């Protein structure tokens, strides 16, 4: 049994807007799973259903084998939740807030321990919530999510508003939790966060998952690219047929290929045999960022959005430009 | 930073009353701290009932109470219970529920182990306990100052008071469901307060009203509570009247409970 199982999940709001449109995935025990997507992609709407805050319009959710909405009592003692936005009474101090939460949690850890774990102990513990910075509020939220030693942890944009150091600390903490066997589902719009933490991830767009797998698998779905400049007077037609090349501008050429190594080998062997110097040679696999941007910019399946694709007009935007295959 | 031991698996779904008590205490304690820090709300809740009771002395003195078995004192002192219920519990709790919802506190609490009922009950505990203390002081102090005889049927007085506390909390939650902001709660709670003062025998006992009007007014939410408290104090409530008052109060409590279940919102509208 996986720690989280989601099948055909849909969420329609009362005004008719369908924020989640048939999402299925599973998170294995002890795994860090990241949900990526631009704002409005449906990440939080999905996570709230997993947390059991609302009943889905359709689909099945199992968290540790239970329905988080109808079997709330069975699930809650074993999950920890960090909401996207605080939810603390502004006039309570940090300690008072965590103490209240500890009282609502079975087998809670000592308040001082969790505050120390997230770096909010000492002087900051006596400060009222309304005086905390955005990053400190995220730390407080994390402390509350951790107080019950959760088996499954939901982190909705855990590092938004944190400074770089706070972000590193939080990543390190999340990695330690994984080592201890905690299953973590996190949403984020920081790609580096997903790359740094996630064992597997899913990219959402308009309420659907459009790409999922390990970061390597997701990146592998997009071809790697090789770029170079051919000598004057030489066209891409001169290249071996195994290398489908496209002209970017002038003599600058791009090859997009799912097999970077063999394509590069072919190219270099051809260049040596033909005695061609490839100026500005550059080869790399796709990055998560490229995959993400491509998904975010591509038109929606069921709503035609002409102009969402960058048209071939700018010269400097070659890196992001969709290039016609030859 | 240290790691947590996630291998510790908790027994799922075990409902123990001690855990429930601990959760209610934790929620109540936090809410008490907040109430003590909200000086304006605290002042309204504590001072208004006593103040109004004193101010209404003149009105009560001018009433024609012949044949009702009431005196100025037995109009005034039980009336103070009405002020406590409506101001210190109903109006106060409406504002608190709205504020906690808008701060996303209710949403966050629902991600934890407390049940919905515990969240609502825990938040109301300080106001309810405070109101109970106020009632004891007002009844005792008023009786002493105005030299009233002790209540004939103290159990009816207590029943009216306790049913009233439960009803006010539920009605506050119901009002909160139809209130978008903390500021607006002062407006949305007004109609119920006005109707209760005028029609529920808090200021003017129903006994001095024309029969038909008195009957209609006796069906309002706060009316049975005042009947139980006032009638229980002077001992004039017949068996039928007692049952009717208890029945009306219970019907309102059930209706309010159903309404809360149906309409209460746990997070702000988007």
- How does DSSP assign A116-171, residue by residue? HHTT--GGGGGSBGGGS-HHHHHHHHHHHHHTT--SEEEEESTTTT--HHHHHHHH
Q: How far is CA B235 from CA A118, B154, B204, in A?
A: 62, 9, 18
**Spatial distance between the Cα atoms of B267 and B105, rounded to a whole number of angstroms:** 8
> Rounded to 5 degrees, what angle do the CA atoms B20, A101, A117 make?
140
User: DSSP character for B84?
Assistant: I
pLDDT at A300: 62
B1 within some domain: no
Higher pLDDT, B164 or A295: B164
Task: For residue A243, give the 3-state DSSP assignment.
Answer: coil
For the cut 70, the answer to whether the pLDDT of residue B15 exceeds it is no
> What was the pLDDT predicted at B101?
96
**Tokens standing for residue B50:** 């006593």
Helical pair A134-146 and A164-179, crossing angle rounded to 10 deg: 10
Which of A51, A3, A5, A68 has the alpha carbon at shortest distance from A187? Answer: A51
pLDDT score for B21: 95
What is the spatial order of strands in the sheet that A58-63 belongs to? A18-27, A4-12, A58-63
Band (B57; pLDDT cuts 50, 70, 90): confident
Q: Is B7 domain-assigned? A: no
B-chain residues near A172 (CB < 8 A):
1
| B128 located within any domain | yes
Report the gap between the CA of A270 and the closest CA in chain B (Å). Answer: 55
Question: What pLDDT does A235 receive?
Answer: 85
Looking at residue A320, the DSSP 8-state letter turns out to be G
> Residue B183 in contact with residue B40, Cβ under 8 Å?
no
φ/ψ of residue A215, rounded to 5: -55, -40
d(Cα A124, Cα A98) in Å, to the nearest integer? 13
Residue B72 to residue A106: CA distance in whole angstroms: 53
Average pLDDT estimate for B136-149: 91
Domain count, chain B: 1
Judge whether A29 and A3 are in contact, CB under 8 Å: yes
Looking at residue B8, its pLDDT comes to 43
**Which CATH architecture does the domain made up of A4-219 adopt?**
3-Layer(aba) Sandwich (3.40)
Rounded distance, CA A31 to CA B242, Å? Answer: 63
Question: How far apart are alpha carbons B166 and B90 in whole angstroms?
Answer: 10
Copy the structure tokens of residue A89.
């009474």
Residue A277 has a CB neighbour count (10 Å cut-off) of 10
B207 DSSP assignment: G
The pLDDT of B140-162, averaged and rounded, is: 93
Judge whether B40 lies within some domain: yes
Q: What is the ipTM of this complex?
A: 0.88
Residues of A in contact with B26 (CB under 8 A): 99-104
**Which candidate in B14, B42, B110, B113 is best for mutational testing of the A interface (most A CBs within 10 A)?**
B113
Which residues, listed in sequence order, are joined to residue A201 by a DSSP beta bridge? A34, A213
Query: Is any Cβ of chain A less than 8 angstroms from the Cβ of B265?
Result: no
Structure tokens at A52: 């059991």
Interchain CB distance below 8 Å, B4 and A177: yes
What pTM, to 2 d.p., does this model score?
Answer: 0.85
Of A78, A88, A149, Cβ closest to residue B105: A88
Q: Do B112 and A83 touch (CB under 8 A)?
A: no
As a whole number of angstroms, the distance between CA B161 and CA B154 comes to 11
B148 at interface of A, judged by CB pairs closer than 8 A: no
DSSP of A41-106: SSHHHHHHHHTTSS--SEEEEEETTB-TTTTHHHHGGGEEEE-SS----TTSBHHHHHHHHHHTST
% chain B with pLDDT above 90: 73
pLDDT at A287: 85
Q: Which residues contact B190 (CB under 8 A, 6 or more apart)?
A: none
Cβ–Cβ < 8 Å for A278, A230? yes
Q: Is B269 on the interface with A (CB under 8 A)?
A: no
Distances (CA, A) of A277 to A230, A239, A272, A273: 7, 13, 8, 11
Instruction: Tell me the CB-side half-sphere exposure of residue A222, using CA atoms within 13 A.
Output: 22
B79: domain range? 23-56+66-263
| DSSP SS3 for B66 | coil
Of B129, B120, B253, whose CA–CA distance to B177 is shortest? B120
Can you give the pLDDT of all 326 residues of chain A as single tens digits? 899 999 999 999 988 899 999 999 999 999 999 999 888 899 999 999 999 999 999 999 999 999 999 999 999 999 999 999 879 999 999 999 999 999 999 999 999 999 999 999 889 999 999 999 999 999 999 999 999 999 999 999 999 989 999 999 999 999 999 999 999 999 998 888 998 999 999 999 999 999 999 998 888 888 888 999 999 888 888 888 888 888 888 889 999 888 889 999 999 999 999 999 999 999 988 888 888 888 877 766 544 333 333 333 333 333 333 333 33
Q: Which of A75, A104, A109, A126 to mutate to test the interface with B (most CBs of B within 10 A)?
A: A104
Nearest to B169 by CA among B220, B115, B132: B132
> Which segment of A21-25, A151-155, B35-39, B61-65 scores lowest on mean pLDDT?
B61-65
Question: What pLDDT score does B70 carry?
Answer: 85
Look at B60 and B94; give whichever has higher pLDDT: B94
Residue A120 contacts B, CB cutoff 8 Å: no
- In A, minimum Cα distance to B118 occurs at A104
Contact A172 B1 (CB under 8 A): yes
A304 CB neighbour count, 10 Å cutoff: 8
Cα(A268)–Cα(A278) distance, integer angstroms: 9
Is A179 part of the contact surface with chain B (CB cutoff 8 Å)? yes
Assess contact for B156 and B237: CB atoms under 8 A: yes
Q: Which two tokens stand for residue A320?
A: 């992001």
């Amino acid at each position: 049994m996986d720690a989280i199982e989601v099948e055909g999940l849909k969420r329609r709001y009362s005004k008719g807007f369908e924020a989640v449109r048939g999402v299925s995935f599973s998170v294995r025990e002890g795994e860090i799973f990241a949900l990526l997507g631009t704002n409005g992609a449906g990440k939080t709407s999905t996570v709230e259903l997993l947390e059991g805050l609302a009943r889905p319009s359709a689909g099945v959710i199992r968290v540790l084998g239970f329905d988080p909405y109808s079997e709330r009592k069975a699930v809650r003692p074993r999950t920890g939740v960090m909401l996207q936005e605080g939810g603390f009474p502004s006039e309570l101090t940090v300690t008072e807030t965590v103490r209240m939460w500890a009282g609502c949690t079975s087998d809670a850890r000592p308040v001082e321990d969790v505050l120390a774990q997230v770096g909010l102990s000492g002087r900051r513990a006596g400060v009222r919530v309304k005086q905390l910075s955005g990053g400190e509020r995220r730390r407080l939220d994390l402390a509350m999510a951790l107080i019950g030693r959760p088996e499954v942890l939901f982190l909705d944009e855990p590092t938004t508003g944190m400074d770089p150091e706070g972000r590193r600390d939080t990543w390190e903490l999340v990695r330690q939790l994984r080592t201890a066997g905690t299953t973590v589902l996190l949403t984020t719009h920081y790609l580096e966060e997903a790359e740094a933490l996630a064992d597997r991830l899913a990219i959402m767009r308009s309420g659907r998952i459009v790409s999922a797998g390990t970061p390597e698998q997701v990146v592998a779905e997009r071809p790697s690219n090789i770029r170079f400049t051919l000598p004057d007077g030489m066209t891409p037609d001169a290249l071996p047929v195994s290398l489908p090349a496209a002209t970017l501008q002038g003599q600058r050429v791009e090859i997009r290929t799912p097999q970077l190594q063999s394509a590069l080998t072919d190219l270099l062997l051809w260049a040596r045999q033909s005695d061609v110097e490839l100026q500005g040679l550059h080869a790399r696999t796709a990055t998560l960022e490229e995959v993400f941007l491509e998904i975010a910019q591509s038109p929606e399946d069921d709503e035609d959005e002409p102009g969402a694709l960058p048209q071939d007009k700018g010269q400097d935007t070659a890196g992001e430009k969709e290039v016609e295959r030859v | 930073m240290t790691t947590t031991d996630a291998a510790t698996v908790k027994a799922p779904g075990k409902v123990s009353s001690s855990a429930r008590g601990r959760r209610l205490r934790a929620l109540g304690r936090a809410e008490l701290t907040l109430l003590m820090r909200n000086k304006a709300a605290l002042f309204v809740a504590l001072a208004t009932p006593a103040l109004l009771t004193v101010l209404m002395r003149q009105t009560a003195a001018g009433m024609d109470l012949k044949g009702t078995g009431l005196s100025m004192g037995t109009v005034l002192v039980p009336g103070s219970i009405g002020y406590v219920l409506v101001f210190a519990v109903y109006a106060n709790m409406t504002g608190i529920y709205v504020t906690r919802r808008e701060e996303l506190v209710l949403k966050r609490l629902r991600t934890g182990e407390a049940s919905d009922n515990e969240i609502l009950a825990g938040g109301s505990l300080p106001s309810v306990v405070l109101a109970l203390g106020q009632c004891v002081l007002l009844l005792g102090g008023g009786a002493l100052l105005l030299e009233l005889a002790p209540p004939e049927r103290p159990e009816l007085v207590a029943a009216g008071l306790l049913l009233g506390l439960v009803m006010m909390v539920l009605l506050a939650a119901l009002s909160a469901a139809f209130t978008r902001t903390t500021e607006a709660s002062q407006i949305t709670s007004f109609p119920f307060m006005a109707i209760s003062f005028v029609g529920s025998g808090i200021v003017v006992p129903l006994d001095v009203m024309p029969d038909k009007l008195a009957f209609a007014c006796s069906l309002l939410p706060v009316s049975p509570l005042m009947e139980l408290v006032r009638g229980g104090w002077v001992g004039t409530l017949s068996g039928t009247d007692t049952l009717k008052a208890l029945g009306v109060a219970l019907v309102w409590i059930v209706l309010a409970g159903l309404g809360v279940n149906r309409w209460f919102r746990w997070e702000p509208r988007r």
